[in-house]
Structure 1
């Protein structure tokens, strides 16, 4: 159901072929990976600001961003961030409705229309 096999009601990127269909075929993985990396980046920046505020309050020198990435405080905050778990599960459920992952039993076939549900891939 991709390229020449796509139906008239299939998404446009499933019909176009080439790099656009390839991106659409793995859009769920690409989107979830980007969300993961972006949330990790934002958490690391905010964590460094907070960590340096605590250090300055104790009259210690602030640490650089790269030094903070190797610091136990960063890893503790990262590994104990339970809110990210809820965000990941919730966004996976919502995004799996619209995005596709070729060969995944959890998502619709790449060429299936957005309106279809319960189609085996």
Structure 2
């Protein structure tokens, strides 16, 4: 690891943003993988039901893709949000993520608004400081609720797509895969 900043702008950018860039690459890679495998799986299901397969662009706008993506994200954001909130108050002996059991830590001290490098909410105090202190858990729970909504929206779209494809006389029951359609 360099102790002085790299001279090249590109190397400096890569060094200073390496975490963001790697996480973005992993997210995009898994979304691409999920898109192609989900597309193949969904078209196989549609063919089993004697329905026309979707193009990749149609699949990306389908309820199946939305539901599959945000079902996974929903559980992850809830888990991480709960983990953040619970580690504020709870402790675990031997855990490197936990606060010390019987000692005060620097993180428990009130932030100093007079420091030059103090963030704006720390300097302003009041409701902005309260929001800033809880911003990570708020962000995770907002992401959870957004994922929950998109998961539900995707599920509804998937049911509607099968109903539209089947025609107005039939409605498909989404829980039955690989079997004859069930009238609802």
TM-score by length of 1: 0.56
User: Secondary structure of 2:38's partner?
Assistant: helix
Pair 33,60 (structure 1): closer, same or farther in 2 beyond 3 Å: same
Does 2:39 correspond to 1:48?
yes
Q: Which residue of 2 aligns with 1:101?
A: none
Quick check: which has more Rg, 1 or 2? 2
Residue 60 of structure 1, aligned match among 43, 51, 56: 51
Question: Which structure 1 residue ranges, 4+ long, deviate > 3 Å from structure 2?
Answer: 12-17, 82-86
1:76 corresponding residue in structure 2: 67
**Partner residue of 1:21?**
12
Cα distance 1:84–1:48, how it changes in 2: closer, same or farther (>3 A)?
farther
With the length of structure 2 as denominator, give the TM-score of the two structures. Answer: 0.38
Checking the alignment, whether the CA contact within 8 Å between 1:44 and 1:69 is kept in structure 2 is yes
Q: How far did 1:61 drift?
A: 1.2
Find the aligned partners of 1:32 and 1:39 in 2 and give their Cα distance.
11
In the alignment, the residues of structure 2 paired with residue 83 and residue 39 of structure 1 have an alpha-carbon distance, to the nearest angstrom, of: 16
Aligned length: 78
